[in-house]
Amino acid sequence: MKKYVFLVGSSIIQRWNNISDFSKKKIFNLGVSRFITKNILQKEYLESLVVAKKYNNGGEIIIYPEYLIYYCGNNDLLRDINPNTVIKNIKKFLLYAKKMFEGKTKLVYLSLLKSPKKYIIGHENYIDYINYNILLFCKKHNFIYIELNFLLNAKNDYLKDGVHITNKGYNKINNLLKIKNIL
């Protein structure tokens, strides 16, 4: 049976185009540029996470992904949304996804990136605060927390905009997820 991975989040997810090269699993990229954590909680987006497979006899089954990978929150900070609100929204989504997929899906949180631009505008402490709180939450609920900030190099792994990741950076993430048997 084919295994599935859902990617959920903002432009960091949407731009992740080379993940299929690293995985034998079917990848559904549901990332949307400029999304904030509140957008992911909207009914229309949550409904897009339900993927059904139709059969010739007219029946259908809901596809439960093996993994759901979540990355969102940096755009919230760019819009001056309080970090506690970001944390609350992330937690709310992860608990919703756990319930929606009936605990059959392993939920993966990718740490918010301290990209070069985040240092310029002084958001690195907010990112540490959010990531730490979500790390504790993930441990409590048996979700998977993946720290990315040790992995990516400011000179080689980010585009000139100082926010988005290069293909080389995505390759590093892909390799890490492969090692952890997520891909």
Provide DSSP, 13-75: HHT--SGGGG-SSEEEEEE-TT--HHHHTSHHHHHHT-EEEE-TTS-EEEE--SEEEEE--HH
* Total structural domains within the chain: 1
Residue 19 domain boundaries: 4-179
Predicted model pTM = 0.93
pLDDT at 1: 57
In degrees rounded to 5, what are phi and psi of residue 8? -125, 135
Helices (H) then strands (E): counts for the chain: 8, 7
CATH number of 32's domain? 3.40.50.1110
Please name the amino acid found at residue 153: N
List, for residues 78-96, the tens digit of each pLDDT value: 999 999 999 999 999 999 9
